[in-house]
Amino acid sequence: MTTPIATSQTILVVGGGISGMTAALEAAECGKQVILLEKSPTLGGRTALLYRYFPKLCHPVCGLEINLRRLKGNRNVRVMTMAEVSRITGTRGKYTVTINIAPRYVNGNCTACGECARAVSSEIPNPYNYGLDKMKVAYLPHDMAYPLRYVLDPSAIGTADAEQARAACKYDAIDLGMQPETIELTVGAVIWATGWQPYDAAKIQPYGYDRFPNVITSLEFERFTDLRGPTGGKILRPSDGKEAKNIAFIQCAGSRDENHLRHCSRICCMASLKQTQYVREVYGEEGKSTIYYIDIRAIDRFEDFYQKVQNDSTVKFIKSKVARVAQDGNSGDLILHGVDTEGYHRYANNHDLVVLAIGMEPSVKGVDIPAEIIADASGFLESETSGGIFGAGCAASPLDVNRSVQHATAAALRAIQVINKTAGVEI
């Protein structure tokens, strides 16, 4: 890989999800030079793994495609995938960034014909379906992958699979000799858009995510409903593959809890309201969704959507944080225990499937950001001491896609201000 030319007037964007892409494009369309780094082999981040957006229930293909089109048409952005920042030194206007690039083993000749995937036999858990199914060791992350180029998993290197993949490729695109690289770049400002990760559901002991196969997270449910997901869009129970028609959604799974995440993750209420509509889409009047909640936080304009779901006869709302989930031994059904707040009725309700509306943890948490960072009580990035590194999207705050885009645009503007000031000094 050739090292991109970067100067103190370049903006580095770390993270290629919806926030990173937006920040990079907004800055690039203002004429700034941008380098967009992504740790995984493709841009798109978690947005690409959603089935639909709320509240209009359109598909993420739409929003991502617009951004990818903007990206392809813009000469100012340089995209680097499978690249991670390991060190940042310097101060605003002049940072030196060390970047580690993992080998993809597939070069630019790739036409995404898929011959290599057909040639290999080994499989690995598919991270794009949260490990719910498997994929070949030579793979295209997903249909919206950018760059549209296959990847050979490092586990295949040195095996017969790697040789078979290379032999199958007609374009000489597979390069088994690729080595990890470390490069150094000089940039003027950094936008940190590393997004979020779901809270570890197994830590919420009373809900039994680690013990009961039919307790899943909202992100996994998103994949179950997607046509490209592990079940091809059918809502099937992990334990026995039966259709799940009576589904419970537990809100605040990890969020707003001093024992887990202190903050409100903001997206989960809307995500569950949205997912009840998936159930309706699949089963019509036959599907049953029950939302267990403390209070529904459908902020400002989302209230309309909340009201629409409230009027849906297949959706029931129970104002109660579920105390405990138990499994009915033989059937694999789940029994939810608790007391509701509207009348203090004790309940023990049966459901086929339980979806935990899992909370949002910043990806910066636990990750050693190679700069002096000031984070809030939940680990979201607030600012940093050198003055030229800005958080964007879910690295900075729990946000939905729409607000992440707004937040990233704001971050781009702040980075541009730094660059302009630096340029002014140099003139």
Q: According to the 3-state scheme, what is the secondary structure of 5-34?
A: CCCCCEEEEECCCHHHHHHHHHHHHCCCEE
Region for 221 from its dihedrals, namely left if φ exceeds 0, alpha if ψ lies in -120 to 50, beta otherwise? alpha
Please count the helices (runs of H) and the strands (runs of E) in the chain: 8, 24
**Residue 337 forms beta bridges with which residues?**
324, 348
Q: How far is the CB of 327 from other proteins (least distance, A)?
A: 17
**Residue 347 forms beta bridges with which residues?**
338
Q: How far is the CB of 266 from other proteins (least distance, A)?
A: 16
Q: How far is CA 328 from CA 290, 346, 352, in A?
A: 18, 18, 10
In 68-206, where do the E strands start and end? 77-80, 83-91, 94-101, 123-125, 134-136, 138-139, 151-152, 181-187, 189-192, 196-198
Q: How far is the CB of 165 from other proteins (least distance, A)?
A: 50
Q: How far is the CB of 274 from other proteins (least distance, A)?
A: 22
**Between 336 and 408, whose beta carbon lies closer to other proteins?**
336
- Please give the backbone phi and psi of residue 178, each rounded to the nearest 5 degrees, phi first: -60, 140
**Between 354 and 395, whose beta carbon lies closer to other proteins?**
354
Q: How far is the CB of 205 from other proteins (least distance, A)?
A: 9
| Interacting residues with other proteins (CB under 8 A) | 206, 252, 256-260, 294, 319-324, 337-341, 344, 346
**Between 87 and 337, whose beta carbon lies closer to other proteins?**
337
**Between 72 and 346, whose beta carbon lies closer to other proteins?**
346
**Between 73 and 206, whose beta carbon lies closer to other proteins?**
206
Token look-up 């499989």 returns 123
The half-sphere exposure of 315 on its side-chain side, counting CA atoms within 13 A, is: 23
Q: How far is the CB of 398 from other proteins (least distance, A)?
A: 16
**Between 215 and 252, whose beta carbon lies closer to other proteins?**
252
Q: How far is the CB of 198 from other proteins (least distance, A)?
A: 18
35: enclosing H helix or E strand: strand 33-37
Tokens found for residue 62: 């739409």
Tokens found for residue 73: 């048409």
**Between 175 and 257, whose beta carbon lies closer to other proteins?**
257
**Between 257 and 281, whose beta carbon lies closer to other proteins?**
257
CB environment 367-393: b (16+ within 10 A), e (fewer):
eebebebebeebbbbeebebebbbbbb
Q: How far is the CB of 256 from other proteins (least distance, A)?
A: 6
